Amino acid sequence: MEDKTGGPAYPAVITDSEGQVVNSTSGMTLRDYFAGQCIIGFMISTGWEALNTFDKQSESAYRYADAMIKERKKVVYK
């Protein structure tokens, strides 16, 4: 199954002094991070709030996030 979230944006692994994993968390997804960044842009755009409802803004933010993740997959990271 394909991961459509882009994976974790801020993963954290906590190790002890011997390097053994003590705790880990995946943090927010990259998709959520991208959508949040879009919302910030929407909020500072003049007139955006007058033209769209919060539901539409949120929907648009996640559509942008999905497009960014799709584009990101075209680049090979090593």
Give me the sign of the Cα torsion angle 25, 71, 31, 6. negative
Return the structure tokens found at 13.
Answer: 């692994």
| Parent domain of 57 | 29-72
Torsion of CA 59, 63, 64, 70, to 10 degrees: 160
- Tens of pLDDT along the chain (78 residues) come to 567 777 777 777 788 888 887 777 777 888 999 999 998 888 887 666 665 677 888 898 999 999 999 988 887 665
Residue at 4 is within a domain:
no
- Please give the tally of structural domains in the chain: 1
Spatial separation of the C-alpha atoms in residues 3 and 6, rounded to whole Å: 6
Residue at 36 is within a domain:
yes
Residue at 39 is within a domain:
yes
Residue at 60 is within a domain:
yes
